[in-house]
Amino acid sequence: MAALAGTLVAGTTVTGAGPHGGDPDVPRLDAPITTLTEVHAGLLLTFLLALAVLGLLWWRTGVPTDVWRRYAVVWGVALAQGGLGSLQYRLGVPEGLVSLHVLGSMLVIVATAALWCATRDRGPVVSATPATGAGSGSPATGAAGVPETERTGDTSVR
């Protein structure tokens, strides 16, 4: 996540120093584009390296198919975005490719966020004490105010 955030910030500095950083009279970032682009691409490599390590760890421990599917999508969009970035750089940042590159950034963010969400999925919520009403926040109680599970001794998951 940190490497991706760094890649995005570095990309914005490349734009800030280049021809697409605003109207011609807008002051540009006073830094060499070549160096900024190298930092930008270097952070992408760090991101891909972290992704590869994560994949190896998951391969050893095992993760659900859905996580693998989303993992593959992140690789696909990140590599495509990297290829597009290199191409636009070599071609002198033509507007059309730069627009696609910005769109690609969004796809990389969405795919990475989707992968992150998949790793946070803990399955359906199960509770031994179903709530009685919206916002009650307390276990189901019987007529005497005694929780249902204590009164009946029924602790089965419903």
Identify which range of 13-21, 67-75, 119-127, 134-142 contacts ligand HEM by CB under 6 A.
Answer: 13-21
- The correct pick among 108, 111, 112, 115 for binding ligand HEM (CB under 6 A) is 108
Q: DSSP assignment, residue 25?
A: T
DSSP SS3 for 31: coil
Question: Crossing angle of helices 33-61/2-17, nearest 10°?
Answer: 160
**Does residue 54 touch ligand HEM according to CB under 6 A?**
no
Which residue carries 């490497």 as its tokens?
3
- The correct pick among 44, 74, 111, 115 for binding ligand HEM (CB under 6 A) is 44
Report the alpha-carbon distance of residue 104 to residue 117 in Å, rounded: 20
Contact, 15 vs 33, CB < 8 A? no
Pattern of binders to ligand HEM over 63-102, x per CB under 6 A? Answer: ---------------x--xx--xx-xx---x----x--xx
**Does residue 40 touch ligand HEM according to CB under 6 A?**
yes
Contact, 101 vs 88, CB < 8 A? yes
Residues forming contacts to ligand HEM in the complex (CB under 6 A) are: 7-8, 11-12, 14-15, 18, 20, 37, 40-41, 44, 78, 81-82, 85-86, 88-89, 93, 98, 101-102, 105, 108
